[in-house]
Amino acid sequence: MSLMHYSSYPDRSLDKIIRDAVSIELVEGGFRVTTHCMYPSNGLVRVTVRSGIESIMATDEGGAVGEAMAAGLALENPDNLLRHLFRDQGILISKGMIYSPKMPIEDVNVAVVQVANAAKEAAHWLYQHVRVKKSRDFAKLLSQYLEQTFTTRLSHKRTIVGKSNKAHKFDNVVSLPNDAMLIVDPVKKESSSINARVVANLDVRSLENQNIYQRIVYDDEDEWSASDLNLLQVGATVVPFSRARDVIGRIAGNPRALEK
């Protein structure tokens, strides 16, 4: 789908969404709107809209649940926890994804607003009612978020051969359009882990393959030295776990818009 799909409908224009939203970008099969609604972390809620011939569906793509998981909240069954919040609004949730029912194209504004508000409400409710894990396994939380967001596009323990012809194993690799891939590599605050992740990422980075995007994610609840973070940066762009959901979502939505 493209923006032209809507411009052909005089009464179904996206002009109002564009005026009201912070930004709008095309993604595979639709477009993503960054709204004014805010999560507890002050991150902005993004809503993806996908279209059929006569109808649309809007979804947060697991953003609200991902927000809570990134904060280390202990979530066993988010669907059961959250369904009561917006059942009366006609908003649905499945596998952690909040979404609208199929709606007429002319109701696209309504769908975006309803899903954005539901996602915001869900994240705030989780922050208020779900306990934080006493000791979090941030690598596991990162993996769970990626599974929630990318499902079949995510591979675990994927082997990639670097420039040295050595094979390196990465915990999380997301398949992107046009045969591109995003490596999301968690690192522990241990010298052995730091060195291993730098070596693996640097070897793959040396391929200079424009279709491979790399991010090393570290747990910013730990106290990291500037020297360790600078060393990690040699291997790949470094992302704190608290910002991983937003950064990964932007890359997956439009990788070419970001620097390698």
The average confidence (pLDDT) of the chain is: 85
pLDDT digits (tens, 9 = 90+) for 212-254: 999 999 998 888 999 999 999 999 999 999 888 888 877 766 5
- Give the Cα separation of 260 and 205 in Å (integer): 10
pLDDT reading at 7 higher than 80: no
pLDDT digits (tens, 9 = 90+) for 92-108: 999 899 999 999 999 99
The ranges assigned to domains in the chain are 3-129, 138-257
Q: Which pLDDT belongs to residue 104?
A: 94
pLDDT digits (tens, 9 = 90+) for 71-88: 778 787 899 999 999 988
Contact, 58 vs 111, CB < 8 A? yes
Bridge partners (DSSP) of residue 168 are 160
Token pair 């709008």 in the structure block, residue = 24
- Give the Cα separation of 116 and 32 in Å (integer): 12
Cβ-proximal residues to 106 (8 Å cutoff; 6+ apart), any chain: 9, 11, 12
Q: What is the DSSP string of 175-213?
A: EETTTEEEEEEEE-SSHHHHHHHHHHHHHHHTT--TTEE
Q: Which pLDDT belongs to residue 170?
A: 96
Query: What values do phi and psi take at 129, rounded to 5?
Result: -120, -10
- Give the Cα separation of 52 and 174 in Å (integer): 26
Q: Does domain 138-257 have CATH number 3.40.50.300?
A: no
pLDDT (average), residues 148-153: 82
Token pair 């994240």 in the structure block, residue = 123
Q: How confident is the model at residue 195 (pLDDT cuts 50, 70, 90)?
A: very high
Higher pLDDT among residues 19 and 100, named by residue: 100
| 3-state SS class at 142 | helix
Burial class (CB in 10 A: 0-12, 13-18, 19+), 11: exposed
Q: How confident is the model at residue 147 (pLDDT cuts 50, 70, 90)?
A: confident
| 3-state SS class at 88 | helix
